[in-house]
Amino acid sequence: MGCVIEGKYCRLDYSHFPELHNRAGQLQEYFDIKYPRILELAQLSFRQRINISMKKDPNLDAASWDDNIKFNPDRVHVADKGFLIHEGTHVAQNFRQCSEWLMQAMAEYVRLKLGWDNPECLYDFRSSMICRSSGLHEQPSYWVWADFYKWLTERYTNKGDLLVDFTAALKKDPPDNEEGFLIEAFGKPSCQLWMEYVGVRLG
């Protein structure tokens, strides 16, 4: 009732933006399609519906905690629905604390795997990979890491889906960091895996 849409996997509150009823409906339908696929990839069970809310916060793009996702529609590209995959991945995995880059990149990996809906958001990764492989102090974007993880899954097909291994790593106490996760999953340090990846992508 009011400015709330009740879906199967989420409850979307757009009371701060009542004029965005159509966009809210599209996002709710999108989330209800994608969230069960996130759970399937990670081999996780559905716990409860996720609370999604639109907020008028000038400092907010999108964020998640526990079973909640909030975002500012003025700061998220209107064509970008995939941010809900990113935040939904955090929520599905219960946002356990680990390496920030590993956590964020894995969420982007899931987004990439389930469909990148806004081509304008894609990052030209060639310059970023060259910087990293040259030892320059520039971290690749989350999208570059997402492509790296996607390549790992395709390159080492015997591993199945990388998200399952990552979810298992999060359940450890303390959770694996990025290096520990990659060594356990692939038997090689990140620098060696990265150079293999760069050689393929820039070859």
Is residue 51 a part of any domain in this protein?
yes
**Residue 27 shares a structural domain with residue 83:** yes
pLDDT tens-digit readout, 55-72: 999 999 999 988 999 999
Is residue 104 a part of any domain in this protein?
no
Q: How many other C-beta atoms can be found within 10 angstroms of the C-beta atom of residue 195?
A: 12
Tokens of residue 106, six digits = 């894995």
Is residue 112 a part of any domain in this protein?
no
Residue-level pLDDT at 159: 58
Q: Of 74, 92, 110, which residue is a domain's last?
A: 92
**Residue 129 shares a structural domain with residue 83:** no
Give 84-115 as a DSSP string: HHHHHHHHHTTT----HHHHHHHHHHHHHHH-
pLDDT tens-digit readout, 120-161: 444 455 555 544 444 444 455 677 777 888 888 788 766 556
Does the pLDDT at position 88 exceed 90? Answer: yes
Is residue 100 a part of any domain in this protein?
no
Q: What is the extent of the structural domain holding 175?
A: 120-202
**Residue 140 shares a structural domain with residue 83:** no
Residue-level pLDDT at 71: 96
Count of domains in the chain? 2
Is residue 11 a part of any domain in this protein?
yes
